[in-house]
Amino acid sequence: MRRLLSTLVAATALMYAAQGAAQADTLRIAGNFAADHSTSKAMELFKTELAKRSNGALTAELFPSMQLGGARENIDAVRAGTIFGTWIGTAFVSRLVPEVEAISLPFLFPDSPTALRIIDGDVGKLLDEKLAKKGFTALGWMELGARHTTNSKHPIKSLDDFKGLKVRMQPNETHLATFRALGANPIAMDVKELYSALQQGVVDGQENPYPIIQANRYFEVQKYVTNTGHFFDFAPIVANKKQFDALKPEMKTALMESIKVAVKAQREMAAESDRAALADLKAKGMQFDEVSPEFAADLRKATAGIVDEVKKRAGAELVDRVVAEAHKK
């Protein structure tokens, strides 16, 4: 009898241990940004806050710098539930949720405060709902900032300088269509392949915010940088909806409060990171060319028709709403 009782106790203990292991208290979250990028630093802050606010009941294991694959692989892994979440550029989200393209229109936002006001308002809530229908929970929106063009061929000072230029783009139809309208030859490519593609001449150039150009060391394989500022980009933090919904209410609260702290800190870092990165790119030998007012007007005119294409994919009502919000004083 004593042996039987011991066996039952041991079996019960194993059963509860197995149940505890099944309740994942460690959230695996991947990113394709370098470890020293402001978004990755913010996620480290999130990790610290989460452990503190959950009293150690919930922790995060972070994988920046494409440790778990490229951006496309990360978002697919979140959708499949093999990892809890990712922080990623909007273009890779729009591949699965086309409505996100509404905030990717060329030359849409006049400045960072306008872009953040819109994503933090009703438009952001609507996009969160669209993401939820595809199996994602939007935890927060970090700021990547304006995207600028680099290349290894020549300075870009007019529309003519875009003609035939092979430029790597994110897999976002709005982005690709914009550079076609400028006369370039855009090529969709995951960021994990970009450095070698630039190095080997598979593409002539690329477009990214200054801190990403700096962090990914594209200055080693690119000579010219121009402040085209053609798109304003975000870095949404998205989670697998089923896994998020399965968390206990108090753990959801701890997670969301931790995300808010991280997003706020990242946005505060973003502006200074942008200035510092451009200065460093110049110091590293890149030639910087300022877009003139005349050139800026030409860029806007050449891409004016993109909005109608986006309406077909993202919905006219949503696009019109975003444009109206962007032009509010």
For residue range 103-137, list pLDDT tens digits in order.
999 999 999 999 999 999 999 999 999 999 999 99
What pLDDT shows up at residue 75? 97
Q: Which helix (H) or strand (E) holds 85?
A: strand 85-87
Q: Between β-strands 224-226 and 287-289, what pairing exists: parallel, antiparallel or unpaired?
A: parallel
Q: How many CB atoms lie within 10 A of CB 54?
A: 21
What pLDDT shows up at residue 14? 39
Whether the Cβ atoms of residue 223 and residue 204 lie closer than 8 Å to each other: no
Q: 285's torsion region: left (phi>0), alpha (psi -120 to 50) or beta?
A: left
- In sequence order, the β-bridge partners of residue 60 are 27
What pLDDT shows up at residue 273? 96
CA 137 to chain centre: 15
For residue range 153-205, list pLDDT tens digits in order.
999 999 999 999 999 999 999 999 999 999 999 999 999 999 999 999 999 99
Whether the Cβ atoms of residue 90 and residue 100 lie closer than 8 Å to each other: yes
For residue range 286-307, list pLDDT tens digits in order.
999 999 999 999 999 999 999 9
Which token pair is 105? 């229109």
What pLDDT shows up at residue 16? 35
For residue range 22-81, list pLDDT tens digits in order.
344 999 999 999 999 999 999 999 999 999 999 999 999 999 999 999 999 999 999 999
Average pLDDT over residues 10-25: 43
Closest CA to 268 of 116, 103, 89, 107: 116
pLDDT band at 329; cut points 50, 70, 90 = confident
What pLDDT shows up at residue 93? 95
* Model confidence, pTM: 0.90
Domains, the chain, ranges and CATH?
Answer: 26-326 (3.40.190.170)
Which token pair is 148? 């600028």
User: Cβ contacts of residue 279 below 8 Å, gap of 6+?
Assistant: none
Residue 284 pLDDT > 90, yes or no? Answer: yes
